[in-house]
Amino acid sequence: MKALIKCSNCGGTDFKRTTIGTILATEGHFHVNAYACGACGHIELFAPESDRYAEELRRQEAIRREEEAQRRKREEEAKQKRREELMKIINDENSTMKQVKEAQEELNSMSGKFTMGKKPFWGW
């Protein structure tokens, strides 16, 4: 990705958002977005309404959140599919006792429960 801002001190492009407090000026006080250069620590200030860097960070964060939501959805769908497969094994009269036991153990581990005998055991 092309750097949206460059450090006027060293030319670095690795900036981290920072908080520096209220800025006082002859016109009064106003809000700015401040970024610290990762290379030299120089602070760059931008007005929020013209801060393309912040817009790009927000866009990237929205993309990351959407990708994370899609990943969690795929994982949950895969877990649900596996649960259904295990329930078929458990309920199939042609399954062996060993298959049923293994399926029950896997199903219990997926739900976060551990069994000791026939009673659920959570291990507290």
The pLDDT, as a whole number, for residue 28 is 61
Q: Is 84 contained in some domain?
A: yes
Q: Is 11 contained in some domain?
A: yes
Note whether 45 and 89 are same-domain residues.
no
Look at the pTM and tell me if it is higher than 0.85: no
Note whether 10 and 44 are same-domain residues.
yes
Q: What are residue 17's phi and psi, to 5 degrees? A: -65, 140
Summarize pLDDT for 67-101 with one digit per residue, the tens. 999 999 999 999 999 999 999 998 988 888 898 89
Summarize pLDDT for 5-28 with one digit per residue, the tens. 778 888 888 888 887 765 666 666
Note whether 39 and 84 are same-domain residues.
no
Which residues, other chains included, contact 101 with Cβ-Cβ below 8 Å and sequence gap of 6+? none
Number of structural domains in the chain: 2
CB-CB contact of 89 with 99 (8 Å): yes
The pLDDT, as a whole number, for residue 70 is 96
pLDDT band for 1, please (50, 70, 90 cuts).
Answer: very low
Structure tokens at 72: 């969690």
Note whether 43 and 76 are same-domain residues.
no
3-state secondary structure of 104: helix
Q: Is 33 contained in some domain?
A: yes
Note whether 46 and 72 are same-domain residues.
no
Q: Is 112 contained in some domain?
A: no
The domain of 87 spans 66-107
DSSP 38-81: TTT--EEEE-GGG-HHHHHHHHHHHHHHHHHHHHHHHHHHHHHH
Summarize pLDDT for 28-72 with one digit per residue, the tens. 666 677 888 888 988 887 766 666 766 777 788 899 999 999 999
